[in-house]
Amino acid sequence: MIEALRDAFDVDHMVYHWVNTTGDQYGCGTYDPAWVQRYIAQDYLRIDPVILGCYQRFHPVDWKRLDWSGKPARRFLQDAIAHGIGN
């Protein structure tokens, strides 16, 4: 299903991420499994500007308006780009 949405919007990747009322996190997406494992191993959930931005808003998030200025966020973005995720 998410692959069909990705294709319909003509984007490289799509992720749906949610947190339940007890704080458990779930998601599905189209990223390469190797990147998903790296993301988890590096604990990027704690510094990913997209995740942090979504905690601050209910509505869709424009990634360009998020704070990517901190060193951890910039390193995360460089790592993502190096793994073919794009900017």
DSSP-derived letter for residue 63 is G
Residues 22-62: pLDDT tens digits?
878 888 999 999 999 999 999 998 999 988 888 887 787 78
Between 17 and 5, name the one with better pLDDT.
Answer: 5
Q: Are 15 and 23 within 8 A, CB to CB?
A: no
pLDDT of residue 87: 67
Considering only CA atoms, which of 86, 83, 87, 84 is closest in space to residue 41? Answer: 83
Domain boundaries, the chain: 1-30, 31-87
Give 78: exposed, middle or buried? Use CB within 10 Å, 0-12, 13-18, 19+: exposed
Q: pTM for this one? A: 0.81
What average pLDDT does the chain have? 89
Whole-angstrom distance between the N-terminal and C-terminal Cα of the chain?
Answer: 24
